[in-house]
Chain A
Amino acid sequence: DAGVTQSPTHLIKTRGQHVTLRCSPISGHKSVSWYQQVLGQGPQFIFQYYEKEERGRGNFPDRFSARQFPNYSSELNVNALLLGDSALYLCASSRGVLAVVSSYNEQFFGPGTRLTVL
């Protein structure tokens, strides 16, 4: 079975531009989460979606938005890019939501999209 896939793998943008990152979950997984990992730090939670509904949001500005489609794939959008948005953006899929205790809801991470903002 294919794992979590993300596109593109690398992206270079300039300040003020907009970016869209895409994620396809593992087959059978209905939840997608997005994380931002700045170099040298642990991943920071951005969003979780389950069955097309937002089920969790981290401490990120409104410039960050996301959505989940009927096929459970997801997009992360970032507007008005800042230099500080340069990071590895990770997508993770799971069968259910994090709030429910179960190894069933273990998250599996994709390869990430490395975004560089100049």
Chain B
Amino acid sequence: ELKVEQNPLFLSMQEGKNYTIYCNYSTTSDRLYWYRQDPGKSLESLFVLLSNGAVKQEGRLMASLDTKARLSTLHITAAVHDLSATYFCAVVPSTGKLIFGQGTTLQVKP
């Protein structure tokens, strides 16, 4: 059974600090997505990573993909309160279904 595991599930950090969210998946996937979800809201697409070694950056967020290790990271640089949200990674195995991790809830404190 395909598993997508995020670590940590909850992260409380101070503004200005750096941290990394990890996403491990248990079967091959040729792409990986990162989404953001604010409380009670829908999912906002952050990054689409399509190949091994792909790295994408947007503002204070940077995502990378290692398909050999089946690992993606979402790195947060100098966190600000506006980044507080739940972050999901998702993969697409050969079944062609989008499989999500459990989510990482990020709380950035002033």
Residues of A with Cβ closer than 8 Å to B?
Answer: 33, 35, 41-45, 48, 55-56, 58, 90, 92, 97-99, 101-103, 106-112
Contacts and interface: CB of A to CB of B under 8 A. Distances in A.
Interface stretch (B12-20, B41-49, B57-65, B71-79): B41-49
Q: Which of B45, B95, B98 has the most CB of A within 10 A?
A: B98
Interface string B84-102: 0000101010011111111
Contacts of A106: 33, 45, 48
A92 B45 CA distance: 11
B33 A42 contact: no
A97 B90 CA distance: 15
B50 interface: yes
Interface residues of B, number: 24
Contacts of B95: 56
B43 A109 contact: yes
Given A90-B42, A103-B50, A108-B45, A98 B33 contact: no
A93 to B, nearest CB: 12
A23 B48 CA distance: 23
A116 to B, nearest CB: 13
Contact of A112 (B30, B42, B97, B98): B42
Given A98-B92, A101-B31, A43 B97 contact: no
Nearest to B1: A59
A42 B101 contact: yes
A101 B50 contact: yes
Nearest to B41: A111
